[in-house]
Amino acid sequence: MKKYSSKIFCLFLLCALAAVACTSVDGGVRSSPLPTGGVPATATPAEPEATLSANASPSPQNTPTITPAITPPPTATPAAGPQAAQADSNQAATLAYSVVTRSIKRDGISVDYPQVEGLANAAVQQTINDTIDQAVQNALADIGKEDTYSLNFEVMTQDEQTLSLVMKGGFYYQGSAHPAAFAYTYNFDLATGQNYSLMAGRDPAMIAQAVQDGKITILNGDEEMKGYILEYLTQVLAPETLGAAMVQADNGAADGVMTFMKDGQLCLVLPVTHALGDYCLVRIDGVQ
């Protein structure tokens, strides 16, 4: 890891520009392109019907409070292999509902966002689609004629209980020092349509410690960038800063921690410096 240290120092010099990334020429601060609000980390999915079991998912509401931790198993659970990923893909193909893409294309704007079709409960489907659509419309409302904004998505988990999505994009406000990238997540309980936090029932301090100890897998970036990100998270980022961010997970802050589920394991969107890409996607190894 030491081989990255000198390069990391140079990268941080570039980050001096980050403070003005969203500041216009006249000094006015533009609003974040991310959904505002969040969901309480104590949010509990509604009791599912029949055999459905709900998982957690983030939505715009209030600052979270934390429930007592669920003690993790003494040994890490191996990451899901290619067979598990293929099984998830096959399951998605046989589900009664699908995730389709809606697009908005005009000068400076390129948006592809998900909508659910074919869900048995039409009211739940409408709730999910309205939540996603409203966030997109709110973001676009602040985009000026000289600004640019892009958005796409990735389905991380799609089964009968949960739909977990990562929304990824970028924006540039006229007069800003540079473009910026962002990501936010949804975890929808398909019994209710509510978006809730996967941090519910987990110990934020334990998750933060796993990150600091490097018990994670970086999911985005090339191998060199993954090395820089790992060094930043484990050696540069202050433990108290990371710990505080975990407590506030899924509260809707533009620079906050957000949760999603992939291959049955807890994953996070973590903010990093602009030089490292503004955000990273990490899997917490062994935490389901």
Tokens of 93: 């193909």
Tell me the pLDDT of the chain (288 aa) as tens digits. Answer: 445 555 544 444 444 434 434 443 344 445 566 676 565 443 444 443 333 233 333 333 333 322 222 223 333 333 444 444 455 555 555 689 999 999 999 999 999 999 999 999 999 999 999 999 999 999 999 999 999 999 999 999 999 999 999 999 999 999 999 999 999 999 999 999 999 999 999 999 999 999 999 999 999 999 999 999 999 999 999 999 999 999 999 998 767 899 999 999 999 999 999 999 999 999 999 888
61 Cβ partners below 8 Å, 6+ apart?
Answer: 37, 38, 39, 40, 43, 252
Contact (Cβ atoms closer than 8 angstroms) between residue 43 and residue 196: yes
pTM of the model: 0.73
CATH of 78-196, one of 3.60.150.10, 3.30.565.40, 3.30.70.260, 2.30.30.20: 3.30.565.40
The CATH 3.30.565.40 domain(s) of the chain lie at 78-196
**Bridge partners, residue 214, by sequence:** none
